[in-house]
Amino acid sequence: MKKDLLKLLDLSKEDMEAILNKADQLKYEQKHGIPQKYLEGKTLAMIFEKNSTRTRVSFETGMYQLGGHALFLSGKESQIGRGEPVEDTARVLSRYCDGIMIRTFAQSEVEELAKYASIPVINGLTDFCHPCQVLADLLTIREHKAVLEGLKLCYIGDGNNMANSLIAGGLKMGMEVAAACPEGYDPDPQVLAFAQSDPAFHFSLCRAPQDAAAGADVVFTDVWASMGQEEEKAKRAKAFQGYCVDASLMALTHPGCMVQHCLPAHRGEEISAQVFEDHAHEIFDEAENRLHAQKAVMCLLMSQ
């Protein structure tokens, strides 16, 4: 049976640990010039219905480093943009390729693609979640802090795809998770239900960023208007006043607290320029780890 990566809610702690451990191995090999052609002769189709810098470059470079090939399909320029049904695209690509990465709007489109494809499907971001990003984030935190279990992860801002994946991933890995979102911008109800489903989970959702940041070991934030929400930019800028990760918020966190941002960042909105630059080494480690985490995902899903 082929396996997919559609959302972190589908993965166990052991699945995520296996990905992080494989990523450690692949990162070590790459840094030491050890050959890693584990996907020789394999092709990954990459469907993009939204913009990307990191996801596209890290998947394409990752496939090259693993001895395979990646091909870019833009929604607009392929038949997908002209309305070819997703179940047909899935069955066609399954005849040519060994895996599909898709970035799109609706999570249901990714789930539908996976249902009809006979090859692994990897979610490269939907409105609902961003699992590849959060695997890279967990890898980065583990590198910096040695462990994940027991750390307090704080998320400040929009209850969007990043918030949803961080809550699912953080709780599954045994982290305490606190999110602060303005009213009307809460994480997805499915994720909130998951967070409440196990008495062992330490989860809180609050309105005041200060409450979430208190004693945090890692602070996350993300843009206030995600891709597809450009028209809401002004309305959101108002709703998110007071939700900037700045020095006064960081003063409430645990000493040595990390800052993570999936990027692109808007300095002076969700994060101050000072906090961004003070933590730039961690943020760009996080960006680099997209490469290693996704290579791990591709190896684990596509090497059979």
Q: Does 263 bind ligand CP (CB under 6 A)?
A: yes
Among 153, 162, 166, 179, binds ligand NVA (CB under 6 A): 162
d(CA 23, CA 264): 23
Q: How far is the CB of 105 from ligand NVA (least distance, A)?
A: 10
Return the DSSP state at 228: T
Tell me which residues in 130-169 interact with ligand CP (CB under 6 A): 133
Instruction: Identify which range of 48-56, 211-219, 246-254, 271-279 contacts ligand CP by CB under 6 A.
Output: 48-56
DSSP 36: -
Asked if 124 and 67 count as a contact pair (C-beta separation under 8 A), the reply is: no
Known active-site residue 262:
yes
Q: Which of residues 78-137 bind ligand NVA (CB under 6 A)?
A: 125
In whole angstroms, how far apart are CA 301 and each of 97, 202, 219, 304?
A: 13, 31, 30, 7
Q: Tell me which of 65, 107, 133, 260 is the catalytic residue.
A: 133
103 catalytic? Reply is yes
Instruction: Examine residue 74 and tell whether it contacts ligand CP (CB under 6 A).
Output: no
Q: Residue 285 is inside which H or E element, if any?
A: helix 280-302
Query: How many CB atoms are located within 10 Å of the residue 19 CB?
Result: 24
Site membership for ligand NVA, residue 262 (CB under 6 A): yes
Instruction: Assess 156 for contact with ligand NVA (CB under 6 A).
Output: no
> For strand 121-123 and strand 99-103, is the pairing parallel, antiparallel, or unpaired?
parallel
* Residue in 55, 160, 226, 294 binding ligand CP, rule: CB under 6 A: 55
User: Which residue in 30, 52, 61, 210 binds ligand CP (CB under 6 A)?
Assistant: 52
Amino acid at 207: R
Q: How far is the CB of 263 from ligand CP (least distance, A)?
A: 5
293 burial level (CB within 10 Å; 0-12, 13-18, 19+): buried
Task: Please select the residue that binds ligand NVA; options are 43, 58, 107, 161, rule is CB under 6 A.
Answer: 161
Q: How far is the CB of 133 from ligand NVA (least distance, A)?
A: 6
- Residue 45 or 225 with smaller CB distance to ligand NVA: 225
**Least distance CB 227 / ligand NVA (angstroms):** 4
Q: Does 53 bind ligand CP (CB under 6 A)?
A: yes
Q: For residues 58 and 135, is the Cβ–Cβ distance under 8 A?
A: no
Helices (H), 118-221: 131-145, 161-172, 189-195, 209-213
Q: State the DSSP H helix or E strand holding residue 102, giving kind and residue range, or none if neither.
A: strand 99-103
> Can residue 229 be called a binding residue for ligand CP (CB under 6 A)?
no
Site track 206-225 with ligand NVA (rule: CB under 6 A), x = hit: ----------------xx--
Residue 262 touches ligand CP, criterion: CB under 6 A: yes
What are the tokens at 29? 């090999």
Which of ligand NVA, ligand CP, none does residue 214 bind (CB under 5 to 8 Å by kind)?
Answer: none
Handedness of CA 142, 147, 149, 155 (dihedral sign): negative
Residue 166 beta carbon to ligand NVA: minimum distance, rounded to whole angstroms:
11
Residues 6+ apart with CB under 8 A from 159: 179, 181, 185, 186, 187, 188
What is the set of active-site residues?
A: 103, 130, 133, 222, 262, 290
Contact positions toward ligand NVA, by CB under 6 A? 125, 160-162, 222-223, 226-227, 262
Contact positions toward ligand CP, by CB under 6 A? 52-55, 125, 133, 262-263
